[in-house]
Chains A and B, each alone.
Chain A
Amino acid sequence: MTDKIISAKNVELKFGRGSEEVVALKNISLEVGAGEFVSFIGPSGCGKTTFLRTVAALEKPTSGHILVNGVSPDEARTNRAYGYVFQSAGLYPWRNISKNVSLPLEIMNYSREEISKRVSESLNLVELNGFEKKFPWQLSGGMQQRASIARALSFDADLLLMDEPFGALDEIVRDHLNEQLLDLWQKTGKTICFVTHSIPEAVFLSTKIVVMSPRPGRIVDVIKSPFPSSRSLEIRDSKEFISISQRVREGLRSGYDYNENKG
């Protein structure tokens, strides 16, 4: 039981009512095991972010069951089971970097010594030590996003939910952060759910790729990656990488009706 970090069965989620009704998630069944790196990929409106928010108990499914760490998402949240990283870094401008990282720890009533220990550990993991006293505006976009990852890591939850964390960054920075993230994942053994728009990013990072499609938001394909958990950017030129990318692309295309998009 403990091996299944997330298990979803026939999860359905609707927004609005009547003619306004939008089916954001339909028939989502998925299992995520401990230590997996799962990417969710699909066009906008396919429900990948909504699914992540459902896992985080920020949205409630209309029907179906979802368990996180074997309990309901609400309970998992109370147990502080996960750290969440949003698309924008969302750092507090009035707190310096170490104060931003300590925010969840303050809310969770950690002792002062514990807080300073955990802050320096988390900043170490994202290679931001030395920037404790800097304010967010003094950091580049990539560094801000690393600080927000440190914040999500600080209370040592086993599950990391990441919603397009590198979507707003340029490709060079993104490549670098992808490598860092893989490194961090191997070091900490955390389970990561990662939402992205980018096929190479999904294929490069994941042990499992979930391809989704909009209207209604559903899973069209689940691809297991053949790559070992320790990998470098060079694998992107390999044959397997290209063939998996192709399969992802086909999955995306099959679920996507271009005419429907006009409405």
Chain B
Amino acid sequence: MTTMRIRAKKFLKTIAEKILPILTILFLLTVVWYFFTIYLNSAMQIDKYNKQGISWNISKLVLDTMSQERPKLPAPHQIAEEIWKTTVEKKITSKRSLIYHGSITLSSTIVGFMLGTVLGVVLAVSIVENRAMESSLMPWIIASQTIPILAIAPMIIVVLNSLGFSGLLPKALISTYLSFFPIVVGMVKGLRSPDIILVDLMKTYNSSKVDIFFKLRLPASVPFLFTSMKVAIAISLVGAIVGELPTGAVAGLGARLLTGSYYGQTIQIWSALIMASILAATLVFSIQAIGYLVSKKMGYTNEEA
């Protein structure tokens, strides 16, 4: 009985501490959003009334601004309705299903992210273990991130297409291009994180460089790796979407955004955007959860991964 009550109390506390603040912000955002929906769409609506000679009042105007077909800013419930229609009510195989498009983007995100993680870790290891690598590679790694991805993405796609690569791989490589960077930076920091006395300690055991790497540097870098991976997976998604924009790709969230903007389908654009952010949040939380489990298994329980 008492344990039940304690559990219930804990549950309420979790809600109060974690969920309530998020909901409060969500509520405020929704209010602001509705305000802007009415404000931005009213001019066009009034124009329409005048042209068609319809008499109107404020309440009719407010309602109509929230149900336009191609509003400047769609109302949240319009987006929710569109998402519902294109996920639950459509077959997954349908070209109009957001789940279909989302899964296309997701697959290239994951492939690109994994390639980026592997590349980032390999680069970081070679930088930490070899001074020459650091001075020759690091400036290029940083320079690679100063090029606007929107400018280089089409070039990568075009070059790879002419080499015979099309479909998932070119998009994934754009994700890789973006995601390897935080992994390199985080892993270099992580591999160098052990205190100097821990390295000295290893030396007093007369241990080899290999021992120092596997027994000290690598385990010490794990929390840094997961922090970097959280950043990397989010920008991998951005990379995949950007990769879908210039190719005239027929599928993927990026393609959805592009066709939406061709036809002024703002509701479609917004629903694809919301879908993308739901995807991003899910991915980041998954990495966080894996990181938590790993760090707990390793004994880092008092630290956040």
Contacts and interface: CB of A to CB of B under 8 A. Distances in A.
Interface in B187-219: 195, 197-198, 200-207, 211, 215-216, 219
Nearest to A89: B197
A80 B206 contact: yes
User: Range of interface residues on chain B?
Assistant: 20 to 34
A77 B204 contact: yes
Nearest to A91: B198
A106 interface: yes
Contacts of A194: none
Given A86-B197, A94-B299, A103 B206 contact: no
Given A90-B195, A90-B198, A94-B300, A107 B204 contact: no
Interface in A24-46: none
A252 to B, nearest CB: 26
A137 B215 CA distance: 19
Contacts of B219: 92, 94
Which of A82, A88, A93, A106 has the most chain B CB atoms closer than 10 A to its own CB? A93
Nearest to B299: A135
Given A94-B299, A135-B301, A58 B205 contact: no
Contact of B200 (A86, A137, A155): A86
A137 B299 CA distance: 9
A-B complex: 9 closest residue pairs judged by Cβ atoms:
A94-B298, A135-B299, A84-B204, A107-B207, A104-B205, A86-B197, A107-B205, A94-B219, A137-B302
A86 B206 contact: no
Interface of A: 56, 58, 77-78, 80, 82-84, 86-88, 90, 92-96, 103-104, 106-108, 135, 137, 155
Contacts of B200: 58, 84, 86
Contacts of A84: 200-201, 204
Contact of A93 (B203, B207, B215, B299): B299
A95 B220 CA distance: 11
Contacts of A135: 299, 301
A107 B302 contact: no
Contacts of A95: 299
Interface string B285-305: 000000000000011111100
A88 B201 CA distance: 11
A66 to B, nearest CB: 16
B299 A86 contact: no
B203 to A, nearest CB: 6
Contacts of B207: 107
A90 B195 CA distance: 8
A165 B200 CA distance: 15
B299 A96 contact: yes
B204 A82 contact: yes
Nearest to B204: A84
Which of B195, B201, B203, B211 has the most chain A CB atoms closer than 10 A to its own CB? B201
Contacts of A93: 299-300, 303
B195 A108 contact: no
Contact of A108 (B198, B205, B298): B205
A89 B201 CA distance: 11
Contacts of B201: 84, 86, 90
Given A80-B205, A137-B301, 15 more contacts: A78-B206, A84-B204, A88-B197, A90-B201, A93-B299, A93-B300, A94-B219, A94-B298, A94-B299, A94-B300, A95-B299, A103-B205, A104-B205, A107-B206, A108-B205
A84 B200 CA distance: 9
A26 B95 CA distance: 82
Contacts of A88: 195, 197
